[in-house]
Structure 1
């Protein structure tokens, strides 16, 4: 896939943006662990890679709903959660609860939807900062060429 190829080649820029973006994550409702989950579900694509002036990085957030149940578990663990942190609380709903959450059928579905929307907004803000970084490094045109395949 040509998309993963271009993303593999910008690891240095991503690390720089990660460091700068930390402040926005801290100002959000997400912990750094939750933001890490968000980023595992987000894929970055370049729209219109054939025209670097019109091209832009967009965050494909269509898979965010798949990490929302895990994000809730992370939030419920608290700061000292660690491995086994949610085993001590008895029945937390288990598999059925996770399936209900994933399908949006749980009672807290509204909260998940709000968090999912916030995650999508943050992911797009990250994509914009990543593009700015690539442009300021003079790498944007070559990244667009790589994305074209």
Structure 2
């Protein structure tokens, strides 16, 4: 995928990253987990030919592939006694070693219809979508949105939309 427009917004991304820090802190993810999630997310502009209708969307198809690494980070943080650097770690009721063992053995812990990996993927996707919205709002406020849409419309990736 060719997203030349993303090369044009590096400085804006850094600003949005700083502004988005509180959103990450309020999420279930640590800063380290969020960095990993962002490495798996690709941002695309839908309808770049029309800046009024164009939207930044987060392509999160690859997030599922990094869930084992998220789990490793989570295990490391718990071994160190918490989740420094952000993330509430509040993943619902229960927790702890007994619930983990029960879950691993397929013995419940909750209503049984929620896949923890799928829930984390959805949470990561929602947070990435919010990030994309904030990036677009930032670009619009700086008067760069039409320019960025024009770059995206010229890129070969726009032919796929």
Offset at 1:44?
0.3
Q: Which runs of 5+ in 2 are unaligned?
A: 81-104, 107-113, 155-161
TM-score, normalization: structure 1?
Answer: 0.78
CA distance in structure 2 between the partners assigned to 1:143 and 1:9 by the alignment: 7
Offset at 1:78?
1.5
Offset at 1:30?
0.3
Offset at 1:80?
7.3
Offset at 1:129?
0.2
What RMSD in Å do the two structures reach over aligned CA positions? 2.1
| 1:57 maps to 2:56 | yes
Q: 114, 118, 130: which is aligned to 1:113?
A: 118
Contact 1:49 1:145 in 2 (8 A): yes
Q: Which runs of 5+ in 1 are unaligned?
A: 82-105
CA distance in structure 1 between the partners assigned to 2:78 and 2:67 by the alignment: 18
Aligned length: 125
2:32 matched to which residue of 1?
A: 33
Residue 115 of structure 2: SS of its match in structure 1? helix
Large movers: runs of 4+ above 6 Å? none
CA distance in structure 2 between the partners assigned to 1:57 and 1:47 by the alignment: 6
TM-score, normalization: structure 2?
Answer: 0.73
Contact 1:2 1:147 in 2 (8 A): no
Contact 1:2 1:148 in 2 (8 A): no
1:22 matched to which residue of 2?
A: 21
Offset at 1:126?
0.2
* Residue deviations 1:70-99 (CA, integer Å, cap 9, x gap): 000000002676xxxxxxxxxxxxxxxxxx
